[in-house]
Structures are given as structure tokens and as C-alpha cells.
Amino acid sequence: MNSSAPARRAPAGREGSPYRREDLAPRKPRLVKIDSRVQSRRRLVFLGLSLTVVSAALFGLLALTVLENQQAFHIAGLRKAAAERQARYEELMVEVDRLESPGRIQSEAQGRLGMVGAGPAAFLVAPPKGSARGAVSSPTAPERTSLSSPFPDKGALTAP
């Protein structure tokens, strides 16, 4: 409050108001001269902090680039390994097909296991109709029919 200005009275009805017109008026900021040493020190601090922030940002960017390149090399290695394993899988599938072929299985069974191929199928022919039902057979021995055996060392099978 300025002592040279006359004290003003509040208008009627506002005698108890705690606010005065001088308190509500905007104040002018006080201008203070800053010493040049303080000013240069503030500039150096600002410059140092700015360089630190920029350096940290550049270092972070460099670190991210290095990590990205490492990941790219890792992914390239994984793709190469996957291609090699896919080729190996295809080779194994060709080998499985070869081993499952019927001709190879037959040759292995005959060669290593000593199995023989099946001969022609044997059929029993029934006697003509009416000759076997209720007919009296002669006292002689029944006629025997010879069948070929798929096992040559066992001999021929005979049917009564």
C-alpha cells in the first residue's frame, strides 16, 4: 500500500468489506538486474542438461538399432534351420514311401525271413448233385482228391 495516496472510504453498505480497491489492482512485476555471472552459469547448466538428454536419446536409439540387427540375424538363422529340417523331413518321407512299397516288403520277406509266395488257390469241387445224399456208398475206400499245398516242403494235402 502506498502511503502517499489518500485513504479511500468504502462506499456505503460496504464498510466491513475486507477487500480494498488497491488490493484488487494488478501489480507490476519488479524488474531485477541479473548479474552476468549468474546468467552465464544458468546457460551452462541448460546447455549441459540439453546435451545430456540428447546424448541419452542417441545412445538409446543406437542400442535399439543394435538389438534389432541382432534379432534379424537370429531370425535368419532360424529360417535357415527350418529350411534344412524341412528338406530332411522330405527325405525321410521319401524313405518311408520306399520302405512301405509292396515290392520291397515281398523281397524282404522272401530274402531275410525265408517266406515263400502263395501258390495258386486250391478249390474243392463238390460231387455232382444227388450222388452224396442218402446214397449208399460202396464198401471200397472213398476216393481221395489231391490238393496242391502252398507249402512245398509239407507235401500235398488230401481230402477224403
Model pLDDT for residues 74-93, shown as the tens digit of each residue:
999 999 999 999 999 999 99
Residues 128-152 have pLDDT tens digits of 776 655 444 554 545 555 555 555 5
Count of domains forming the chain: 1
Separation between Cα atoms, residue 74 and residue 68, nearest integer Å: 10
Nearest to 2 by CA among 25, 22, 21: 22
Question: Is 8 part of any domain?
Answer: no
Does the predicted model carry a pTM greater than 0.75?
no
Question: Is 55 part of any domain?
Answer: yes
Q: How many beta carbons lie within 10 A of that of residue 122, not counting itself?
A: 14
Q: Which domain holds residue 82?
A: 34-99
Question: Is 56 part of any domain?
Answer: yes
Q: How many beta carbons lie within 10 A of that of residue 150, not counting itself?
A: 14
